């Protein structure tokens, strides 16, 4: 291109337009001053020159690749643009194992470009690889209306859901369903997000990794931390290699992250069993006994009953047990126990005297029961009756606690914690200060329970103690 014309082409678009019009006006005025025959001959030649100049200045010399309204690359010409994009689509399709598209709408548009802006060969291929979001029609598992997992085929998505239902132990009579709203559909997805079966399984099981850290404060114990976040102490130790659970340092940072599965498998079934009815315990004060000493005056006898439960498990773990029907075959007879009315010394030097948290006798005492440790006492209060704080303190937790059902824990300071389980309703929240005798919940039968009662525990520095040693 001649130097002057090249300089004109480099001007901004509006200046080019003004100059071309100015040239046209000057030529027209000059022609009007010429004789007619010369005007005709020179006019045709000059008008042709102006047209060629305008084309050279404004005409296209490259091809823009436009995908879904966005320019992703500029090629030397349309042929090379189409060919290179086609090669990439074939390559991506072979890698993904499914037909791949560059976008919903692909267009090629003539544009004006500098020589260095027009790409060819490997440079064009590299540019398209970086800027084009190649997509494929894929199966998608929707969870609560959101696309979460992409797979090659609908059959793969169905296999994943069938595998998930079979992953956890299934018992006779189980009815399986998903807790979340789970649907299978199809949609265009980025090639990189389409997973194979094994990767999809891991993603559903691990889900979103909820990152959480905790900085140890003065007075913290690992047990306190685990209870506050409803986490198992062993899991905290596993996630923090080298951690000494008995020697935490102030300022020490603990990794408390945990996996949250994307889908929850809920198994519901009804079961009828014959079981023992725990015998109640009547406690009498005896001044002749030493603090903490107890004496059985009359042994109790358990009863028998037939109970129909509705049991709910989530991802293999029991989360609810409801009594649908029961028939008593033999009533239990109470055990009579004498104990000292004097309180024993609690951890860290002080002593504590607790109020009875509910009205009713002891239906099941602290200690070994049916081959396992019963870490509290069961108070035989009626369904919906009041549960009160045994002493003043701060609510450490209030919510569902697996086999305990609806549970409240109160921290009384000095390493002393009381636990109230199987509640039908909770009336306090975590972090709330409560006074001795304040209503904290109602008696129920949530969690693993044989019927309505209050399971009451006393924990001293994380160790269960017999609540009767602290009650009047």
**Full set of structural domains in the chain with CATH:** 3-58 (no CATH), 62-133 (no CATH), 137-207 (no CATH), 209-260 (3.10.350.10), 265-469 (2.70.70.10)
Residue 158: the pLDDT is: 96
pLDDT at 349 > cutoff 50 = no
Q: Around Cβ 341, how many Cβ atoms within 10 Å?
A: 11
Q: What string of DSSP letters covers 450-462?
A: SSSBEEEEEEETT
State residue 312 phi and psi, 5-degree precision.
-120, 130
How far apart (Å, rounded) are the C-alpha atoms in residues 299 and 297? Answer: 7
Mean pLDDT (whole number) for 171-180: 90
Highest mean pLDDT among 233-242, 344-353, 365-374, 435-444: 435-444
How far apart (Å, rounded) are the C-alpha atoms in residues 216 and 359? Answer: 39
pLDDT at 381 > cutoff 60 = yes
Please return the burial class of 124, using the count of CB atoms within 10 Å of its CB with bins 0-12, 13-18 and 19+.
buried
Of the two residues 274 and 116, the one the predictor is more confident about is 274
| Of 94-103, 202-211, 426-435, minimum mean pLDDT range | 202-211
Structure tokens at 133: 């979001």
Of the two residues 6 and 102, the one the predictor is more confident about is 102
When pLDDT is cut at 50, 70 and 90, the band that residue 185 belongs to is very high
Residue 36: the pLDDT is: 66
* DSSP H or E segment with residue 170: none
Highest mean pLDDT among 99-103, 112-116, 467-471: 467-471
* C-alpha to C-alpha distances, 172 to 133, 270, 274, nearest whole angstrom: 49, 9, 17
Mean pLDDT (whole number) for 210-228: 76
Mean pLDDT (whole number) for 372-392: 85
When pLDDT is cut at 50, 70 and 90, the band that residue 150 belongs to is very high
Question: Facing residues of 372 across strands?
Answer: 369
Q: Could you identify the residue written with the tokens 């004097």?
A: 342
Residue 6: the pLDDT is: 47
The answer to whether 149 touches 196, Cβ cutoff 8 Å, is no
Mean pLDDT (whole number) for 10-39: 63
pLDDT at 235 > cutoff 80 = no
* C-alpha to C-alpha distances, 286 to 283, 302, 356, nearest whole angstrom: 10, 25, 18
Highest mean pLDDT among 187-201, 313-327, 351-365: 187-201
Highest mean pLDDT among 10-19, 38-47, 96-105, 294-303: 294-303
pLDDT at 2 > cutoff 50 = no
Q: Could you identify the residue written with the tokens 């009359």?
A: 298
When pLDDT is cut at 50, 70 and 90, the band that residue 192 belongs to is confident
Work out the percent of the chain whose per-residue pLDDT is above 70.
79
Work out the percent of the chain whose per-residue pLDDT is above 90.
18
Of 126, 137, 146, the C-alpha closest to 104 is 137
Of the two residues 446 and 42, the one the predictor is more confident about is 446
How far apart (Å, rounded) are the C-alpha atoms in residues 60 and 272? Answer: 83
When pLDDT is cut at 50, 70 and 90, the band that residue 342 belongs to is low
Residue 433: the pLDDT is: 87
pLDDT at 181 > cutoff 90 = yes
pLDDT at 167 > cutoff 80 = yes
When pLDDT is cut at 50, 70 and 90, the band that residue 208 belongs to is low
Residue 274: the pLDDT is: 87
When pLDDT is cut at 50, 70 and 90, the band that residue 267 belongs to is very high
Mean pLDDT of the chain: 80
How far is Cα of residue 141 from the mean position of the Cα atoms in its chain?
16
* DSSP H or E segment with residue 268: strand 265-277
């Amino acid at each position: 291109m001649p130097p002057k014309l090249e300089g004109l082409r480099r001007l901004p678009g509006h200046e080019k337009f003004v100059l071309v019009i100015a040239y046209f006006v000057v030529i027209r005025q000059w022609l009007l001053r010429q004789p007619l025959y010369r005007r005709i001959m020179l006019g045709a030649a000059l008008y042709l020159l102006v047209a060629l100049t305008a084309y050279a200045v404004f005409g296209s010399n490259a091809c823009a690749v436009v995908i879904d309204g966005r320019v992703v690359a500029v090629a030397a010409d349309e042929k090379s643009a189409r060919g290179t994009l086609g090669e990439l689509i074939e390559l991506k399709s072979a890698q993904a194992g499914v037909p791949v598209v560059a976008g919903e709408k692909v267009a090629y548009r003539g544009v004006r470009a500098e020589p260095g802006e027009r790409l060819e060969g490997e440079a064009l291929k590299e540019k398209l690889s970086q800027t084009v979001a190649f997509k494929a029609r894929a199966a998608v598992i929707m969870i609560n209306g959101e696309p979460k997992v992409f797979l090659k085929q609908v059959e793969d998505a169905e296999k994943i859901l069938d595998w998930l239902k079979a992953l956890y132990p299934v018992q006779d009579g189980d009815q399986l369903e998903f807790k979340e709203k789970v649907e299978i559909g199809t949609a265009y997805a980025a090639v990189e997000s389409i997973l194979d079966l094994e990767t999809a399984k891991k993603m559903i099981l691990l889900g979103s990794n909820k990152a959480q850290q905790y900085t140890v404060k003065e007075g913290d114990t690992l047990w306190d931390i685990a209870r506050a976040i409803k986490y198992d102490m062993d899991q905290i130790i596993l996630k923090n290699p080298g951690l000494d659970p008995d020697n935490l340092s102030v300022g020490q940072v603990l990794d408390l992250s945990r996996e949250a599965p994307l889908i929850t498998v809920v198994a519901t079934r009804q079961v009828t069993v014959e079981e023992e009815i725990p015998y109640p315990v009547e406690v009498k004060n005896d001044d002749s006994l030493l603090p903490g000493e107890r004496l059985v005056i009359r042994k109790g006898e358990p009863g028998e009953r037939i109970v129909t439960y509705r049991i709910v498990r989530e991802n293999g773990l029991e989360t609810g047990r409801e009594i649908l029907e029961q028939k008593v075959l033999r009533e239990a007879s109470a055990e009579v126990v004498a104990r000292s009315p004097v309180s024993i010394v609690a951890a860290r030097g002080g002593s504590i005297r607790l109020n009875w948290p509910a009205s009713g006798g002891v239906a099941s005492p602290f200690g070994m029961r049916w081959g396992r440790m019963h870490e509290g006492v069961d108070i035989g209060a009626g369904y919906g009756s009041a549960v009160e704080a045994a002493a003043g303190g701060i609510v450490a937790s209030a919510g569902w606690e697996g086999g305990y059902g609806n549970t409240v824990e109160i921290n009384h300071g000095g390493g002393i914690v009381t636990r109230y389980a199987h509640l039908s309703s909770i009336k306090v929240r975590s972090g709330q200060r409560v006074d001795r005798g304040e209503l904290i919940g109602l008696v129920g039968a949530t969690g693993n329970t044989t019927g309505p009662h209050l399971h009451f525990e006393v924990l001293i520095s994380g160790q269960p103690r017999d609540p009767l040693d602290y009650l009047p």
